[in-house]
């Protein structure tokens, strides 16, 4: 099946985007994702044998592309912790019909890997960076990792040609809302695309509370007060960020407002965990095992049929239906499903 006849879910949304987590491990302990009190030294991460191999990932990705997926994003955990990740990039880059291959990283390991990733076929990179202030950033990453090393990674990616570079900033009230303007200035100065992300209730370990959410409208107003903005149209169908252009023409910012302005109606994403569970929503309560059919040697056509069956039954719209009735439901953790 070609991209022109993409599989549609029960609400008419096409399958266009596959996010693949390659590891559940990370070298940061960000408070909104992998809080240290849960993910401490005693926490048991997935054994290597449970992870999908690069060959298994590529076979499943090929099946997804046959259903209309045109974009693949590698995530984690921290994807650059996966040994020989460049090999997987090269394998995925060879898939006919895939037009966008990108990766989201915390930037800590990006500097020494940027050129190899480009050589392997990676097209773009998104770097998570929640503050330029070392003290604030240290409180957030909780491993005393310096901002300067993340900036080195971003600069290396820029030089290597991983463009346009996107920078994601999760904004959490009481922690880093004071970093909104410095981050906007930084991205504007360097020509990076900045995305502000509302603090979301993914999983159960991050202590999410609604009063710690800085609404997207407040973020936009803060930036607009210093550097006037005007709205932009979406760059492509299903884009989750609301885009704003600086009125003087010097770049843009975006906001991802899953809490205050849900965008479920245009969501085209499926997510695969490192051990092969497929989720059709970031806030999913149950994943479907794709590792078993892969290891049974099922053909690409059989894998595609399984994917299409799962997608065609999809009715997920958690952010639009978020209420007291959904708060207590079990949800997959961010560190397993990626962003």
Q: pLDDT by residue (tens digit) across 246-278?
A: 999 889 999 998 777 766 778 899 999 999 999
Residue pLDDT, tens place only, 117-173: 999 999 999 999 999 999 999 999 999 999 999 999 999 999 999 999 999 999 999
- Separation CA 253–CA 244 (nearest Å): 5
Task: Parse the chain into domains and list their residue ranges.
Answer: 9-337
Superfamily of the domain at 9-337: Aldolase class I (3.20.20.70)
Q: Are strands 229-231 and 242-246 parallel, antiparallel or unpaired?
A: antiparallel
Per-residue pLDDT averaged across 176-182, rounded? 97
Q: What pLDDT does 333 receive?
A: 67
- What's the chain's average pLDDT? 90
Report, in angstroms and rounded to the nearest whole number, the Rg of the chain calculated over CA atoms: 19
- Separation CA 325–CA 328 (nearest Å): 7
Q: What pLDDT does 260 receive?
A: 75
pLDDT band at 189 (very low <50, low <70, confident <90, very high): very high
In sequence order, which residues have a C-beta less than 8 Å from that of residue 301 and are 6 or more positions away?
63
Q: Are 177 and 168 in contact (CB under 8 A)?
A: no
Q: What pLDDT does 286 receive?
A: 83
Helix axes 180-190, 216-226, angle to 10 degrees: 60
Q: What pLDDT does 210 receive?
A: 74
Choose the weakest-confidence range: 45-54, 274-283, 295-304, 313-322.
313-322
Q: What pLDDT does 80 receive?
A: 98
Per-residue pLDDT averaged across 228-251, rounded? 88
Q: What percent of the chain has pLDDT over 70?
A: 89
Is the backbone of residue 149 left (phi > 0), alpha (psi -120 to 50) or beta?
alpha
pLDDT band at 281 (very low <50, low <70, confident <90, very high): confident
DSSP assignment of 131-172, as one string? -SSHHHHHHHHSS---HHHHHHHHHHHHHHT--S-EEEEEEB
Which helix H or strand E contains 90, and what residues bound it?
helix 85-93
Residue pLDDT, tens place only, 28-39: 999 888 889 889
- Separation CA 163–CA 256 (nearest Å): 20
Instruction: Note the Cα 226 to chain centre separation in Å.
Output: 29
Residue pLDDT, tens place only, 79-132: 999 999 999 999 999 999 999 999 999 999 999 999 999 999 999 999 999 999
- Separation CA 129–CA 186 (nearest Å): 11
Q: What pLDDT does 323 receive?
A: 47
- Separation CA 60–CA 310 (nearest Å): 14
- Separation CA 184–CA 226 (nearest Å): 10
Q: What pLDDT does 200 receive?
A: 75
Q: What percent of the chain has pLDDT over 90?
A: 75
Q: What pLDDT does 16 receive?
A: 95
pLDDT band at 2 (very low <50, low <70, confident <90, very high): very low
pTM recorded for the entire structure = 0.91
Say if residue 23's pLDDT is above 50.
Answer: yes
Say if residue 224's pLDDT is above 70.
Answer: yes
Q: What pLDDT does 327 receive?
A: 55
Per-residue pLDDT averaged across 185-211, rounded? 80
pLDDT band at 220 (very low <50, low <70, confident <90, very high): very high
């Amino acid at each position: 099946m070609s991209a022109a006849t993409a599989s549609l879910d029960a609400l008419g949304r096409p399958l266009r985007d596959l996010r693949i987590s390659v590891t559940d491990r990370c070298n940061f302990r960000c408070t909104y994702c992998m809080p240290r009190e849960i993910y401490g030294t005693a926490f048991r991460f997935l054994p290597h044998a449970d992870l999908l191999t690069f060959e298994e990932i590529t076979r499943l990705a090929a099946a997804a592309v046959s259903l209309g997926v045109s974009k693949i994003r590698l995530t984690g955990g921290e994807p650059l912790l996966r040994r020989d990740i460049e090999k997987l990039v090269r394998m995925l880059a060879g898939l006919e019909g895939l037009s966008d291959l990108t990766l989201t990283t915390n930037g800590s390991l990006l500097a020494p890997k940027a050129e190899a990733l480009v050589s392997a076929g990676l097209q773009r990179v998104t770097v998570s960076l929640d503050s330029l202030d070392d003290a604030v950033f240290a409180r957030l990453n909780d491993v005393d990792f310096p901002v300067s090393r993340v900036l080195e990674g971003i600069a290396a990616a820029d030089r290597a040609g991983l463009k346009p570079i996107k920078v994601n900033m999760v904004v959490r009230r009481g922690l880093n809302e004071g970093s909104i303007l410095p981050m906007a200035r930084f991205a504007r100065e360097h020509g990076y695309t900045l995305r502000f992300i509302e603090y979301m209730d993914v999983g159960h370990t991050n202590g999410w509370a609604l009063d710690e959410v800085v609404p997207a409208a407040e973020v936009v107003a803060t930036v607009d007060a210093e550097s006037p903005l005007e709205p932009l149209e979406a760059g492509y169908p299903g884009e989750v960020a609301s885009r704003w252009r600086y009125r003087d023409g010097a770049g843009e910012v975006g906001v991802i407002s899953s809490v205050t302005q849900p965008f479920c109606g245009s969501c085209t994403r499926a997510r695969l965990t490192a051990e092969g569970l497929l989720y059709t929503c970031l806030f999913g309560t149950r994943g479907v095992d794709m590792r078993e059919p892969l290891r049974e040697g099922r053909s690409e056509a059989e894998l595609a049929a399984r994917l299409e069956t799962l997608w065609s039954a999809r009715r997920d719209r958690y952010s639009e239906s978020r209420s007291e009735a959904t708060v207590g439901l079990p949800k997959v953790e961010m560190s397993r499903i990626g962003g």
